[in-house]
A and B are shown apart, each in its own frame.
Chain A
Amino acid sequence: MPQGPDIAPGRLTDVELALNFSDAHPPLTHAQAVVEADRCFYCYDAPCIEACPTGIDIPRFIRAIATDNMAGSARIILESNILGGSCARVCPTEILCEQKCVHNTREEGQPIRIGMLQRHATDWQMDHGGQPFTRAAPTGQRIAIVGAGPAGLACAHRLAMHGHDVVIHDRHALAGGLNEYGVAAYKLADDFAQREVDFLLSIGGITFEGGKVLGRNMTVASLRREYDAVFLAVGLAGVRSLGIEGEDLDGVMNAVDFIEGLRSANRQTVPVGRRVVVIGGGNTAVDAAVQARRLGAEDVTLVYRRGAENMSATPVEREWAQTNGVTVRLWAAPVRLVARDGVLDGIEFARGRIGPDGRPAYDPDDTFVVAADMVLKAVGQTFMPDPLNGESIAISGGRIMVDATGQTTMQGVYAGGDCTPGEDLTVAAVRDGRDAAEAIHAAYMAAGR
Chain B
Amino acid sequence: MADLRTNFVGIRSPNPFWLASAPPTDKEYNVRRAFEAGWGGVVWKTLGEDPPVVNVSSRYGSLDYNGTRMIGLNNIELISDRPLATNIAEIKSVKRDYPDRAVVVSLMVPCVEESWKAILPIVEETGADGIELNFGCPHGMSERNMGAAVGQVPEYVEMVTRWCKQNTRMPVIVKLTPNITNILMPARAALRGGADAVSLINTVQSVIGVDLDLMAPMPVVDGQGTHGGYCGPAVKPIALRMIGDIARDPELARLPISGIGGIGSWRDAAEFLAMGATTLQVCTAAMHYGFRIVEDMTDGLSAWMDQKGYATIADVTGRAVERFVPWNRLNMKFKTIAKIDQDACIKCGLCHIACEDTSHQAIARSKVDGERHYEVIDEECVGCNLCAHVCPVDECITMQPQPVDGVLTWPEHPSNPARVTVGS
Contacts and interface: CB of A to CB of B under 8 A. Distances in A.
Contacts of A66: 66
Interface string A19-63: 000000000000000110010011111110000000000000000
Contacts of B347: 43, 47, 102, 105
A35 B68 CA distance: 10
A45 B67 contact: no
Contact of B349 (A38, A46, A106, A109): A46
B372 interface: yes
Contacts of B350: 41-44
Nearest to B349: A44
A102 B372 CA distance: 11
A66 B346 CA distance: 22
B393 A106 contact: yes
A66 to B, nearest CB: 7
B372 A38 contact: no
B346 A106 contact: yes
Q: Which of A34, A41, A43, A44 has the most CB of B within 10 A?
A: A44
A47 B373 CA distance: 12
Contacts of A47: 347, 372
Interface in B351-388: 352-353, 365, 372
A34 B347 CA distance: 24
Interface in A54-101: 66
Given A38-B67, A66-B66, A102 B346 contact: yes
B66 A44 contact: no
B66 A38 contact: yes
Given A45-B365, A106-B393, A34 B67 contact: yes
A38 B69 CA distance: 13
Q: Which of B67, B350, B353 has the most CB of A within 10 A?
A: B67
A43 B349 contact: yes
B66 A45 contact: no
B213 to A, nearest CB: 13
A66 B64 CA distance: 12
Interface string B332-358: 000000000000001111101100000
A35 B365 CA distance: 30
Contact of A41 (B348, B352, B372): B348
Q: Which of B349, B353, B392, B393 has the most CB of A within 10 A?
A: B349
Nearest to A38: B67
Nearest to B352: A44
A104 to B, nearest CB: 8
Nearest to B356: A44
Nearest to A42: B350
A44 B275 CA distance: 38
Nearest to B68: A38
Interface string A99-117: 0001101100100000000
A44 B348 CA distance: 6
A45 B363 CA distance: 14
Given A44-B353, A45-B365, A45-B372, A35 B67 contact: yes
Nearest to A106: B346
Contacts of B392: 41, 106
A66 B353 CA distance: 20
A43 B349 CA distance: 6
B366 to A, nearest CB: 11
B393 A45 contact: no
A35 to B, nearest CB: 6
Contact of A105 (B66, B346, B352): B346
Q: Which of B347, B353, B365 has the most CB of A within 10 A?
A: B347
Contacts of A106: 346, 392-393
A351 B348 CA distance: 46
A48 to B, nearest CB: 11
Interface string B65-85: 011000000000000000000
Contacts of B348: 41, 43-44, 46, 102
Nearest to A66: B66
Interface string B387-398: 000001100000
Contacts of A44: 348-350, 352-353
A103 B347 CA distance: 10
B89 to A, nearest CB: 45
A52 B285 CA distance: 43
Contacts of A41: 348, 350, 392
A209 to B, nearest CB: 45
B344 to A, nearest CB: 9
Interface in B34-81: 66-67
Nearest to B390: A41
Q: Which of B66, B67, B348, B365 has the most CB of A within 10 A?
A: B348
A108 to B, nearest CB: 13
Interface string B139-163: 0000000000000000000000000
Contacts of A38: 66-67
Contacts of B365: 45
B231 to A, nearest CB: 24
Contacts of B66: 38, 66
A33 to B, nearest CB: 11
A109 B346 CA distance: 11
A46 B352 CA distance: 12
Q: Which of A35, A43, A109 has the most CB of B within 10 A?
A: A43
A42 B354 CA distance: 12
A106 B372 CA distance: 16
Nearest to B365: A45
Contacts of A43: 347-350
5 contacts: A34-B67, A35-B67, A41-B348, A41-B392, A44-B349
Nearest 9 Cβ contacts at the A-B interface:
A44-B349, A44-B353, A38-B67, A102-B346, A43-B348, A105-B346, A102-B348, A38-B66, A41-B348
Interface of B: 66-67, 346-350, 352-353, 365, 372, 392-393
Given A105-B346, A109-B346, 7 more contacts: A41-B350, A41-B392, A43-B348, A45-B349, A45-B372, A47-B372, A105-B347
